[in-house]
Structure 1
Amino acid sequence: MATTVQHTGFRFAPTDRLHPRRVQRIHALAAIAPAPAAEHAFAYATAHHYLEGADAAARAGDHDLFTWYTDHPDAGAHALATPTAVGNCVVIAPEQLITSPISDTPYYLLNPYTRPAPGEHQELARAAYAVADDTGFGDLLAGHARVLVFLGHKRYNDTFDSWTISRLPGTVFVDHVADPAALARDLIHEAGHNWLNDALAAANCKLDDQALFHSALAAAIAPARDEFANRWAQATERDDSEALNELRTFRKDCGSYVHLYDYMSQVVDFATTDLEKLAEFLRHLVRLLAVDDPSADVDLSGIVLKRVRHIDQGKAAIALAGDQETPGLRGGTGIGTAVVRDSQQVLLSEVIAKINSLFGGEFADPQIGGFVTAAAGMAEEDPRIAEQIDNNAQDQFLISPDLREALTDAAVLNEGAFGKLTGALTGEGERAEELIRLIGAYLYQSRRARTEPETEPEEPKA
């Protein structure tokens, strides 16, 4: 049973009249009764699949397919319908799209062989429509995104493709991740294109096919972005480190100017808009200047602090005034009594500090130190590990598959106080990989420091 949803936010009277009028004309070709008023948007989207499908079958001389469309003026949509927060929708994930001379963009038509998308796609779609409805865009999707065609599954850092075509109003083609909010975003975006197309058609507005519309900001930034990219590519091809460093410096200077202007403009009236214009230009440009420098500034303007965790690391006396007693400064003592620090202890201290940063200071230094030395010590007893350390550079050793196995075996044998660290080491993810690399580096350098003979200083030449 269809879900009837009342929406008003994106209602446009000419479009409300366009939908049933066009559906009536299409259905008149098949001599069927008009769709119920509550189903006008759904019928509008699916009727165009019937119209385009029947036309393609007739042009191809496919009598059986043409007969099927004649018998199914909804293109089989009602049998495929999925109830959502905005009404019945068709959710499909075809393996292959159609290309034809009448459309430069790939598309898909409902046909006798169309099957609903798999269950996880259906759940994702229902959740996405619900997100859109909860955020005020339900009426937009109800009127202009009733057929959802899933394309490929992507990762967050991939480029997403999504589109609509004017011949299939109410149909949306989208790539996706397993995130309802991300899918809702793309549905809203593409439904907006369908809304605009319908609004222009309903108001009898036509755009000049020769007219071009440009973003002034994008047009201004594009030449500088392209010039930077070209110079970077040329310098990389020539292996010109000096030119690459100049480009890195330029990018850093752009960011530095923006930060300085943002600060100084709060206290100084520059009496000109030129500096502000330059700041805004560079603010947008620097985000588009890609370099391969891990130390390059990263734009964090869109980062929002969501959660803070405080870890109790003990109490400290910090009073400097008031009723509390302020600790006095202590003078220097033991001058000239310093001893050379053990290189092994220095190495271990560095590893402890880095591992502590992985866990936000959750563990005491002795706990981490004991864990590292126990795991590394037991792993070193493995002849394979000792041989690999003795015969390889550190970066080669750290990618050895035997390293994870040896450290995992050692960690499992040292449970108890090291239980949580063991769980982290034997788990998956970036933190586990980094933990293995840190302990592996310590193991490698520790053994090398103990086994390699010290270089004797050369006798001074006479």
Structure 2
Amino acid sequence: MGAFQRMYAFLSQIFDYGNTAIEKRCIFYKRSIPLLEFGREREGLDLSKVMLTHHNFKAEVKRTLPLVAGENPKLTPLEGTGTAQVQDKEKAFLAEIIAKVNGLFEGELSEDDQLIYVNNVIKGKLLESRTLIQQAANNTKQQFANSPDLSIELMNAIMDALVAHNSMSKQALESEKVRSDLRDILLGPAQLYEALREQSEVHP
């Protein structure tokens, strides 16, 4: 009955049987099925009389999983959790650079433009200088600050950055004061000297 009803409902959408008796039978079956009890429907299984007579455990082969062959390394515990000292220190350096750079250049320049120009572009160019790397490795910060090569390399870095940062580079090239302040910033919060010493350790 259910199969007949489903088949007729599907096929009657494709073509017209032209026979009302078939449609009447489908309607009759549709109304009759909910009223019939076939005796096979079960709401659930009755397990009240089921008894567990035995069970079996199977032991599998035990295996050790060392992280490194022949070694048993221990995890290093976390230290200084929640102190955020590195981030706070870095933010303080960046804030100091922004404070010193602010007002150094003229024109419609954002703080990000000036920060990137000094701390990324100019400093990045100077970090590529083998001469400055060697001098930072072999001299104190005061001796390094008085090196004539620092002024020369700073001028070279400004000229290299001229195309990408024309406005600030032009002002720096034309103003001794701007170059002097740039050098103070690079030696101060930008930590050029310290970064060069790190470079000397990486590339002795």
Tell me which of the two structures has the higher relative contact order, counting C-alpha pairs closer than 8 angstroms and 6 or more residues apart. Answer: 2
TM-score by length of 2: 0.47
Structure with bigger helix share is 2
TM-score by length of 1: 0.23
Task: Compare CA radii of gyration and give the structure with the larger one.
Answer: 2
